[in-house]
Amino acid sequence: MLARMLGSYRNYWKPLVVMAVCLFIIAGCGATASKGETRSLQDAYGDVHIPVHPVRVVVLDVGALDNLLKLGIKPIGAPSILAPGEPYPAYLKGTEDIENIGSVNEPNLETIDRLKPDLIIGNKDTHDQIHKQLSQIAPTVFVETLGVTWKANLLIHAEAVGKASEGKRLLDEYDTRIKELKTKLGDQPKSPEVSVIRTRKDKVQIYLNETFSGVILADAGIKRPSAQSGKGFSKDLTDEQIAEADGDFIFWFTRDKGSFERLQSIPLWAPLKAVRQNKVQQVDWETWMSGLGIQAVHKVVDDLYQYLVK
């Protein structure tokens, strides 16, 4: 009798065990399929298939690093601005444990391959020649260029890591803030003409409208001196052309130690209006020139508020 009862229970549980095993196998297959799932995105080269949820992202420029950190995504690899191994820009927080992959201009392909990324983000302007090799390592999303296209780049970066709505929200926040700045500047008796220059060892450059900072100034309705109001990225000035660097206010930045002192030694510098009125201010090159992401944008806006709004 007992043997018959035990046999009956065994017959009852057998199909349930088989069913549970089948469900486990199906679930495992589903997880595998989900892990390999891709979606399509348009980048500088056309249609590219990328993971739905990338988790091991390598970036090739500081603009992408800046944007992804703000979006809550920590890349596993990123380059230094100038030389391999140099610290990431000081204004960026949360860069600990990100592996250095070389410099922006010379990323190390072997290091990138060793990191086994599932997504690489770069830009065509800088990395066109290695696009094919990078695409063989992992799906690769390239924006066209940097600086002047920082808004479009933010949206592409956000879409690439599954944060499209967050990217749009960050742009909306910027638009609100820049409109407030524009209103405050417009309420002042006189809106200043702002000059932006970079001092170098052997020359001075004026930065024009088609630059990272130029876009922000234009959004805020800030006027530029006539010599700086045209299209283009920058213009080199000879010592005899220093007057073209003048304005009601001059912002300057540099990577070259001693270059501003050289500028001060030029006889035509001291008579400039901004110099005579003590309205010359150094700003951080890591944000104004090389930041190229949404966090750097707000640092530039911070400076505009601090020095231009009274």
**Cβ pair 283, 303 in contact under 8 A:** yes
Q: How far does Cα 185 stand from its chain's mean position?
A: 27
**Residue 16 banded pLDDT, cuts 50, 70, 90:** very low
Q: Would you state the pLDDT for residue 35?
A: 54
Per-residue pLDDT of 228-284, as tens digits, reads 988 899 999 999 999 999 999 999 999 999 999 999 999 999 999 999 999 999 999
Percent of the chain with pLDDT over 70: 89
Q: Would you state the pLDDT for residue 231?
A: 87
**Cβ pair 52, 37 in contact under 8 A:** yes
**Residue 29 banded pLDDT, cuts 50, 70, 90:** very low
**Residue 25 banded pLDDT, cuts 50, 70, 90:** very low
**Model confidence at 11: pLDDT above 70:** no
Per-residue pLDDT of 57-93, as tens digits, reads 999 999 999 999 999 999 999 999 999 999 999 999 9
Average pLDDT, the chain: 90
User: Which residue segments constitute the domains of the chain, with CATH numbers given?
Assistant: 38-168 (3.40.50.1980), 189-308 (3.40.50.1980)
SS3 content of the chain, % helix, strand, coil (to 5): 45, 20, 35
**Model confidence at 203: pLDDT above 90:** yes
Query: Which pTM value belongs to this model?
Result: 0.87
Work out the average pLDDT over 133-160.
Answer: 97
Q: Would you state the pLDDT for residue 189?
A: 86
Q: Would you state the pLDDT for residue 190?
A: 87
**Cβ pair 243, 197 in contact under 8 A:** no
**Number of neighbours of residue 64 by Cβ within 10 angstroms:** 30
